[in-house]
Amino acid sequence: MDEILKVSNLKTVFYDNSREVHAVNDVSFSIREGETFGLIGESGCGKSATCRSIIGLLKENGKITEGEILYKGKNLVKMSRKELEKIRGHEIGMIFQEPMTTLNPVVKIETQITECLPKTMSRADKKKRAEELLKMVGIADAGQRLSAYSYELSGGMRQRVMIAIALAAGPRLLLADEPTTALDVTIQDQILKLLMDLKQELKMSMILVTHDLGVASQTCDRIAVMYAGKIVEMSDVHALFLNPCHPYTRGLLESIPTISKKGSRLIPIEGMPPNLKKLPEGCAFAPRCRFCRSICLQQEPQLQEVETGHFSRCHFRGEPEGEK
Ligand SMILES: Nc1ncnc2c1ncn2[C@@H]1O[C@H](COP(=O)(O)OP(=O)(O)OP(=O)(O)O)[C@@H](O)[C@H]1O
Ligand SMILES: [Mg+2]
C-alpha cells in the first residue's frame, strides 16, 4: 500500500504568555492509502494539535517549528496559504470535536456545504450536490434541511452536517477529531458507523482521534498512543492490544475490563501528565510509571522497534525486571 501522508519529526508550539507549550514534540508517523489510523491518549497530550498542524488550522498562537508533513509527497509545512487552502477541504477534510463551534449559526446549511464545492459548479448543480451529500450522511428530509440553520438541528444531525461538509469536495484523507464526543451515547454509535461506512465506500484514509479504546480497537488498522506531545507507542491494532509494551499503554489497557466493548473510555492513571511548558529531563511518563528506574529520570528514551512495525518509547521496551 502507498503512503498518503508522512509526518516526520513534527514539532508544534503554542505561545502562551511568552512561554512555549510543546504540544506536539517530535511526532512521526505515516498513513497508508485506505488506512484508519487511531490517535489515542489523555486529554491535553496533543492529538488535536497534531491534526490541526496537518491541515494548517492551528490557533493564532500556534506554530509548526520543525518537521515535515508530506501529503502525497508534497510538504504541507512549506506550502503557501493559498496552496494549502486548495488541499484543505479538497484533498484533506476535517471533522472537529465540537460541531456547534464549527458550524456558522447565521448561515444556512446549504450555503455552508456549497461553499466547499468547486467554484466551477453551477448554482443548480451545487444545490443538487448539497442535497445528495445530506442524503448520504443519513438526513432523511435533505431538501428541506438545506434551508435550515445549525441551531435548528439536533446534535446528531449537526454532526452529520459536519461530515457532509467535510466530504463535500471528496477528500482522500479525513481527519476525525473525536467526532462523537459531544453526542449522546446512542447517537455516537450511529455516527461512528456512518463514518466508517462512508470511509469504506469513498475509499478514504482516516485519522481517528478517540478517547474510546473499544472504538479504537474495532475501527483502526494502526494506533499511536500519545503522551505529553509524543508518540509513546505505535503499532497495528492487534499487537497493541495483545502485547502493549509501554507502561503508559499498559496502564490504559489494564484500567478497563473488556477492551472490545464500546464505551471503554480511558480511565485516568494515577498522577498528572507533565506541564508541557516545562518538560522533565528524562522520560515524560517517569513520575507516574510504576517501573521507573534512575535512568528514566535522567535520559529520554527513544522510540524503539520492539517487533516488526511495533514501536515503544521505553528504556526497558516495556519489560523491566519488575515493579519498583
Ligand atoms: N491555543 C493554545 N494556546 C496554548 N496552549 C494550547 C492551545 N491549544 C492547545 N494548547 C495546549 O496544547 C496541549 C495539547 O492540546 P490538544 O488540544 O492537542 O490536546 P488533545 O490531546 O487534543 O486533548 P483533548 O483530548 O482534551 O482534546 C495542551 O496542553 C493544551 O493545553
Ligand atoms: Mg483534542
The pTM score is: 0.92
Residues within 5 A (CB) of ion ligand 2:
48
**Relative to the CA of 42, which ligand 1 atom is closest?**
25
So what's the architecture of 3-91+202-312 in CATH? Answer: 3-Layer(aba) Sandwich (3.40)
Residue 241 Cα distances to 72, 106, 111, 207, 218, angstroms:
30, 45, 43, 18, 11
SS3 per residue for the chain: CCEEEEEEEEEEEEEECCEEEEEEEEEEEEEECCCEEEEECCCCCCHHHHHHHHHCCCCCCEEEEEEEEEECCEEHHHCCHHHHHHHECCCEEEECCCHHHHCCCCCCHHHHHHCCCCCCCCHHHHHHHHHHHHHHCCCCCHHHHCCCCHHHCCHHHHHHHHHHHHHCCCCCEEEEECCCCCCCHHHHHHHHHHHHHHHHHCCCEEEEECCEHHHHHHHCCEEEEEECCEEEEEEEHHHHHHCCCCHHHHHHHHCCCCCCCCCCECCCCCCCCCCCCCCCCCCCCHHHCCCCCHHHHHCCCCCEEEECCEEECCCCCCCCCCCC
Model confidence pLDDT, tens digit, residues 251-294: 888 766 555 555 555 556 788 888 999 888 999 999 999 899 99
CB 311 within 8 A of CB 289: no
Distance of CA 23 from the midpoint of ligand 1 (Å): 6
Q: Which amino acid is at 302?
A: Q
Decide whether any atom of ligand 1 lies within 6 Å of the 14 Cβ: yes
What was the pLDDT predicted at 211? 82
User: If you search the block for the grid coordinates 524503539, which residue do you land on?
Assistant: 304
Distance of CA 147 to the CA centre of its chain: 31
Decide whether any atom of ligand 1 lies within 6 Å of the 24 Cβ: no
What was the pLDDT predicted at 262? 53
**Ligand 1 pocket: which of 16, 40, 47, 272 to mutate (most atoms within 8 A of CB):** 47
**Ligand 1 pocket: which of 45, 177, 265 to mutate (most atoms within 8 A of CB):** 45
User: If you search the block for the grid coordinates 445549525, which residue do you land on?
Assistant: 150
Distance of CA 176 from the midpoint of ligand 1 (Å): 16
Q: Whose CA is nearest to atom 24 of ligand 1?
A: 43
- Residue 134 to residue 154: CA distance in whole angstroms: 14
**Ligand 1 pocket: which of 14, 212, 266 to mutate (most atoms within 8 A of CB):** 14
What was the pLDDT predicted at 84? 92
Q: Which amino acid is at 230?
A: K
What was the pLDDT predicted at 319? 61
Quote the Cα angle for 6-7-11, to 5°.
170
Buried b (16+ CB within 10 A) or exposed e, 183-195: beeebbebbbebb
Every domain of the chain and the residues it spans: 3-91+202-312
Q: Whose CA is nearest to atom 2 of ligand 1?
A: 14
pLDDT mean by block of 10 residues, the chain; 324 residues: 92 94 97 97 94 94 98 96 88 83 88 90 94 93 93 90 91 94 85 93 95 90 97 97 93 68 59 88 93 94 95 82 54
Q: Whose CA is nearest to atom 1 of ligand 1?
A: 59
What mean pLDDT, rounded, does the chain reach?
90
Decide whether any atom of ligand 1 lies within 6 Å of the 23 Cβ: yes
